[in-house]
Structure 1
Amino acid sequence: MTNETPCPADAVTRMEPEIAFMVRGLEGIYRRRKYPMERAHYLVLMNLLEGPLASGALAARLSLDQSTITRQIAAMEKRGLVEKRANPKDGRGVVIAATPEGEARYTEMRALRLERLSEMLSDWPEADRARFAELITRFNSALMASEGGQVLKGR
């Protein structure tokens, strides 16, 4: 018999409140920062910078329902961050593409986020930062898989 049955002191039990605290902390920090766009728009653009996507494919990548992604796309169109184009595969449907303004705002926000994260982890040894990056990537992959979504693309 293996000893794989979780016990109250296992790592998952220790992780759960830390993840809850991390999510809450990130939400609070996000509200106080003056970022150039909403977090949801940042994630949409992150995926669109790889190339135009149909809204259904974008919704699947982000584990969102179609109505949510439709509202986000409409708001982003009004801000000039994305545009609809004829689907090059059949010409009947549309794909969503980042505009030059969307790319610029994404780049600006990414630079701010990278700067902040670099400051937060400045006293971590590079090996710890690399290991954390590996583990958080694995965690996000497991999270998306557990929700039936695809792995979010990162830049």
Structure 2
Amino acid sequence: MTETAVETIQREMTAFARRARASAGRMHPELSLVSYTLLGHLEESGGLRATDLAAHYALDKSTVSRQVTTLERAGLVERRRDPEDHRVQLLHLTEAGRRILAQVSVRRRAAVQERLVDWAEEDLERFAAYLVRYNARSGAGTEDD
């Protein structure tokens, strides 16, 4: 593995992450990139505890708590009792949360498609496979991603 290739990959991934954070606010003023990510994971999971979100993204519980509080105040997330353990509260998307997540998802997908419009199908498939392979080996939310 050449250092030059690794340096280029790291530099380009950093640029990608910065662009994603910067564009999140333009997609929807209420959603930071972290908020968008949390909403997406809540939708996929069907409801989780805040501690589950923190563990999944390797974030501090206080960070997730602040994000969840902001999402609750915006009416995008609500707490419900866990039907299996009434001592536990699960976070769920509200209808407004689902609607906003869907809108942002459509915009983000369109932005990605626009950047890839002139790529050959085989390049797209290879790039997608490489991203899946890379992410399968990395720890979600760690600083060295």
SS state at 2:38 partner: helix
Equivalent residue, structure 2, for 1:137: 132
Gapped runs of 5+ residues in structure 2? none
Q: Aligned partners of 1:136, 1:122: CA distance in 2, in Å? A: 18
Task: Give TM-score, length-normalised by structure 2.
Answer: 0.85
Equivalent residue, structure 2, for 1:102: 97
Give how far 1:143 is off.
2.8
Does the 8 A contact of 2:35 with 2:67 survive in 1? yes
Give how far 1:71 is off.
0.6
Whose RCO is larger (CA < 8 A, sep 6+)?
A: 1
What's the RMSD between the two structures over aligned residues? 2.2
Q: Does 1:35 align with 2:31?
A: no
Task: Label 1:25 to 1:86 Cα distance change in 2 as closer, same or farther (>3 A).
Answer: closer
Q: Does 1:15 align with 2:9?
A: yes
Give how far 1:131 is off.
1.3
Larger helix percent: 2
SS state at 1:91 partner: strand
SS state at 1:93 partner: strand
Q: Aligned partners of 2:83, 2:73: CA distance in 1, in Å? A: 23
**Which has the higher Rg, Structure 1 or Structure 2?**
1
Alignment length, in residue pairs? Answer: 141
Identity over aligned residues, as a percent? 32
Equivalent residue, structure 2, for 1:52: 47
Q: Which of 58, 61, 77 matches 1:63?
A: 58
Equivalent residue, structure 1, for 2:68: 73
Gapped runs of 5+ residues in structure 1? 1-5, 149-155
Q: Aligned partners of 1:146, 1:106: CA distance in 2, in Å? A: 20
